[in-house]
Amino acid sequence: MKAELKSLDLSSSTAFEDYRPENALNFGIYVTATIGPLCETCGDLFQILVCSRIWFNHRTADGLLLDCRRFEFDGPYSYSTVVQKIKDFVADCEGGSWDELAKQLSIKTHWEFESYRM
């Protein structure tokens, strides 16, 4: 089983493709990805921190950020680069079930069901 990125959204009135950080070299935003099985319309929600190395290092040094799951960038912010990096990560995940895929995706994301206990 393979995963597929269905959509990326910000938790604001701004569309993700229209987002421009104030500082293209020092930025951090959370995006919500809908990711599901390849060739299916359904998907689960995954929160993703997209940030620059400068932004991340500043927040971890100050103790403001304790979770290290993220997509980190060294260069200036680029919407197309961010989307491609997330798509590539998702496409590289493979497993025997959706739960296995979701656990792999949770290496860099926060799955909406990761704290559920069956």
Q: Contact, 4 vs 35, CB < 8 A?
A: yes
Quick check: 52 and 26 in contact, CB under 8 A? yes
Dihedrals φ, ψ of 30, to 5°? -100, 130
What does the chain come to in residues? 118
User: Would you place residue 104 in the very low, low, confident or very high pLDDT band (cuts 50, 70, 90)?
Assistant: very high
CB 46 within 8 A of CB 32: yes
pLDDT of residue 39: 92
The maximal CA–CA distance of the chain, rounded, in angstroms, is 43
pTM recorded for the entire structure: 0.88
DSSP 74: S
DSSP, collapsed to helix, strand or coil, labels residue 17 as helix
Say which range, 19-28, 77-86, 104-113, has the weakest mean pLDDT: 104-113
Residues 43 and 105: beta-carbon distance below 8 Å: no
